[in-house]
Every structure is written in structure tokens, then in C-alpha cells.
Amino acid sequence: MPHNRLRWIGATTGLLLALSWGIAQAGPQRKQVEWKTMNAAFDGATFVNNAETCKGCHEAPMQTYTHTAHAVAFGARPPAGAGECESCHGPRSKHVEAPSADLKLDTKAQSAVCLQCHEGGTRFGWKAGPHQANDVGCTACHTVMAKSSPKALLTKSTSTETCATCHREVQAEFNKMSHHPVREGRMDCASCHNVHGSTNALLIKPTLNDTCYTCHAEKRGPFIWEHAPAREDCATCHTPHGSNQRTLLTQKDPFLCLSCHNYGGHINLPRYNRTSNPYGNGCSNCHVSMHGSNHPSGAKLVR
């Protein structure tokens, strides 16, 4: 490789490392919050800028807080313009003067505080998401003052357990015969869903099919012979969380096919099913490429 090319690569690598180091030292970008718009009791309040003042009454929660990721980050890079506690709880001079003063924030205001640092990235769609619309805030899933999980400050030890506190019906579906390996720990809710907001049912991709293809890439195609329902929507035949039919099907194999292919005279119709149904597959005994085929003779998806 020419020496000038090596020098260019070395210079570029050095620049990238320097930028990465600078970003890490700078910490997350914070936007200023208008506290008085969140609670009128903050109007005229000032920052105490002294965590020891808070510790006088709140020693127990502050002790558990010292083990959290926020405590480590703020200890290394204290936010400008406010003490450690007041970065999230707002100016507390009035609270110090009158501890009984009501400075509680509603759910949306609490989330706005978190978004000072955590806006953007996977949380870009939070404000238009169903959790925000249904008054579910950040603290419903995350605990700031104690370390309850190995990562992400979740209220439970895993993201699946955290989601299950509300989505009990989905948790029940994972106990069905056919299910994604969530309860086995090989994937979790966040494998398919972006809980902070997205354009389609909190999925990590723009469409359901694109989300499925992140693992099932062989079903993507393109195919010479396409099966239109599979191309249009995986949920036409499959239910994502769990089913008592194999391979997450919405119905037993032959009856699922017959919901569209209901013309008469075929050997696999119920009155002619002595040949294929005993094998358990029904239609898929012969039509093995139900998602699509690239075989020159695969027009009927039989190869």
C-alpha cells in the first residue's frame, strides 16, 4: 500500500479517536428546562447547588442512588448550572424553606426532565408514541434512585419483566406451545420493539415484515414466484407472541390455507384429506416453499 495512503488512514483514525474522546468528555447535551412551566411552585425558586442540603432529609434514597449509572456520570461530569439533585428535581430553594411545599411534577413533566439528556436516538419518536399518549412516563419503566437491574435502570431485572408489568396478555402468550424464545432469555421485547416510540406499533423497523426480516432474512426474497400474503404482511399467517399451532401460525396449517384457497376439488380439502393430513402438514406437505420460490418450476410453490 502506498505510504501516502497509510499516512491518510493514520491521520483519519487519529481524528476519529480525538473526536470520540472529546464527545465522551463533554457528556450528553442538555437543554435547559423552564421549571416554572412544569409547576408554578418553581416560579422564583433558585438552585441550592448543594447535595449535602438534600442529604439532611433524604439520606436513604441518596445512599442507594450512589450505585446508579447517573451517580457515576454526574460525579465525573457535574451538569452546569445546578447541583446533582437539582439537575432532575429542579430548583429547590422553596423546598428547603418550606419542605411541605408541593413541587411534584406530573407524568409528562417528569419525562421532559429525562429528555433534557436522553432526547434523540431511539427516543426520537417518544413525544408521538403511545406510551406518552397514555400517560406512561419514563419512571414507569426506569428507576433513577436505585439500581434495580444490570443495565438501563429498569424497574425490573430484565426488559421483558418490565414490559410484563403492564402487558400481561402478551406475557401469557409467551407461555403457549409455539413462541419466540423470550421466556428462555434468547431475546426480549426490545428485540422487536422500540418502546420509546416509532412510526408503527413501536416496532424497531418501519414495517412488521422488515422487523421480522432482521432474524428471518431468508424469507425476505426477492423471489421469482412470490406468495402475495407472505410478501404483504407476516401477520396474515403468523401471530408474533405465541400460538398453540406450530410455527406461530394463527390456525392449523390446512385450514389457514383454506381461508384463502377455498376452491373445490383439491386433494387437501377436508373431504379429501386422507392423503396429506395424517402427516400433520396438510398443504405444506407439497407446497414446501410457502414464503416464495426461486425454482424455475416453483409457480405452485412446490419446490
pLDDT, tens digit, 9 for 90 and up, residues 116-136:
888 878 888 888 888 988 999
Residue 209 in any domain: the answer is no
Q: Give the 3-state secondary structure of residue 50.
A: coil
- Whether residues 44 and 69 share a domain: the answer is yes
- 3-state DSSP call for residue 243? strand
- CB atoms inside a 10 Å sphere around CB 122: 14
Between 268 and 33, where is the model more confident?
Answer: 33
116 φ, ψ to 5°? Answer: -55, -40
Indicate whether 145 belongs to any domain. yes
Predicted confidence (pLDDT) per residue in 241-251, tens digit: 999 998 999 99
47: closest CA among 103, 101, 100, 92? 92
Please give the pLDDT value at position 267.
Answer: 60
Mean pLDDT across the chain, nearest whole number? 80
- The CA angle 188-190-191, to the nearest 5 degrees, is 70
Domain finish residue from 161, 185, 204: 204
Residue 6 pLDDT greater than 50, yes or no: no
Instruction: Output the pLDDT for position 271.
Output: 52
Residue 231 CA to residue 190 CA, distance in Å, equals 24
Query: Which of 177-186, 262-271, 291-300 has the least mean pLDDT?
Result: 262-271
The last residue of one of the domains, among 104, 136, 162, is 104
Of 55, 149, 147, 138, which Cα lies nearest the Cα of 96? 55
Do residues 47 and 99 share a domain? yes
Verify that 258 and 195 share a domain, yes or no.
Answer: no
Residue 75 lies in a domain: yes
Pairwise CA distance, residues 23 & 264, whole Å: 67
Same domain, 78 and 137: no
- The sign of the torsion formed by the CA atoms of 69, 70, 73, 76 equals negative
Point out the least confidently predicted range of 29-43, 71-85, 110-124, 151-165: 71-85
- pLDDT tops 60 at residue 78: no
- Which three cell numbers, joined as nine digits, stand for 239? 401471530
270: its cell numbers:
377436508
Enumerate residues 6+ apart whose C-beta is below 8 A from 124: 196, 197
Do 176 and 220 lie in a common domain? no
Amino acid, res. 254: P
Domain endpoint, select from 71, 104, 137: 104
Tell me if 86 is assigned to some domain: yes
* Contact in structure between 253 and 282 (CB atoms under 8 Å): yes
Three-state secondary-structure class, residue 180: coil
164 lies in a domain?
yes
Report in angstroms the alpha-carbon separations of 156 from 147, 151, 196, 241. 10, 10, 17, 20
Checking if the pLDDT of 112 tops 70, the result is: yes
- The torsion angle over the Cα atoms of residues 180, 184, 186 and 191, rounded to 10 degrees, is 50
- Burial zone of 219 (CB within 10 Å; 0-12 exposed, 13-18 middle, 19+ buried): middle
Q: Residue 19 domain-assigned? A: no
What is the residue range of 93's domain?
34-104
| Model confidence at 149: pLDDT above 60 | yes
Of 175 and 286, the structure prediction assigns the larger pLDDT to 175
The H or E element containing residue 293 is strand 292-293
Same domain, residue pair 159 and 179: yes
Residue 188 domain-assigned? yes
Task: Examine residue 24 and state whether it is found in any structural domain, yes or no.
Answer: no
**179 plus 223 within the same structural domain:** no
* Same domain? 194 vs 223: no
Number of domains in the chain: 3
> Residues 193, 133: one domain?
yes
